[in-house]
Amino acid sequence: MDPLQTSPDITVLDNGTVLTADGLALKGTDAVEIINVRLENRVDAAFHSWQVCRLVRRDFNFVATKLFHRERRKGGREQVRSLLHEVQLQAELLELECQSFEAPPEGPGRAVPLRLVSPTAAGLFKAFQKADAAFARLNHAVANRKLAENLVHGYTHPFESAFSDLKLYCSARNQSEKLAREMAEAEGIA
């Protein structure tokens, strides 16, 4: 496969897989790139915890794209704001809870190029930055035997749960449409 270099930070393989400069797969870039907006922001986000870096690479573009469209539907803006607020709140609380742990040594982190197509996407990105700092502290504490690994989930679960709820909201319509289509096909009315 001959990779296509689309920017210094992104490589697209022949099979459509998008890779970051570090060679990590980045999902959903095609969906976020087709959104037409007057104002956008592109960032090369550095993540210092493998957990948040993985979440962002796997889910950020999907969720940001779905939120962009859901916000424009009648009644969608309030639901999106409520769920996003919960993610932001849990990220802030996680950050506060982890301040007592030593920060890891400064390093470049893993760069992930992102396109922020709305204030909602920017808010989600900021929440991920806060969570990343907290996860990095937790990882550092575990590595230095200041925290037992089995206790980490107790710290991170509220944030992970809030993001999971937001992601589920983004997936819900897709799932219900798929189920309706499958039922119609089974009944022979599709």
Is 105 domain-assigned?
yes
Is 67 domain-assigned?
yes
Tokens at 16, concatenated: 């459509």
Determine the structural domain holding residue 174 and report its residue range.
Answer: 39-187
Per-residue pLDDT at 189: 67
Per-residue pLDDT at 182: 57
Q: CA separation (Å) from 148 to 12, 53, 70?
A: 40, 22, 40
- Residue 6: phi and psi, rounded to 5, are -90, -25
Is 101 domain-assigned?
yes
Per-residue pLDDT at 13: 64
Per-residue pLDDT at 165: 94
CA distance 3 to 16: 10
Helix (H) or strand (E) holding 122: helix 119-143
Q: Quick count: other Cβ atoms within 10 Å of Cβ 94?
A: 24
CA distance 190 to 183: 9
Instruction: Report helix, strand or coil for 162.
Output: helix
Per-residue pLDDT at 166: 94
CA distance 1 to 11: 12
Per-residue pLDDT at 85: 97
Q: CA separation (Å) from 78 to 73, 75, 95, 120, 153?
A: 10, 6, 26, 12, 30
- Residues in the chain with pLDDT values less than 70: 1-17, 19, 23, 25-26, 28, 31, 173-186, 188-190
Tokens at 60, concatenated: 């950020």
Please list the residues that pair with 92 across neighbouring strands: none
Is 144 domain-assigned?
yes
Write the burial class of residue 118 (CB in 10 Å: 0-12 exposed, 13-18 middle, 19+ buried): buried
Is 69 domain-assigned?
yes
State the total domains in the chain: 1
Is 29 domain-assigned?
no
Is 30 domain-assigned?
no
CA distance 157 to 129: 17
Give residue 2's Cα distance to chain centre.
28
Per-residue pLDDT at 181: 56
Q: pLDDT tens for residues 31-72?
A: 677 777 777 778 888 999 999 999 999 999 899 989 988 888
E-assigned strand segments in the chain = 4-7, 10-12, 18-20, 41-47, 110-116
- DSSP assignment, residue 25? B
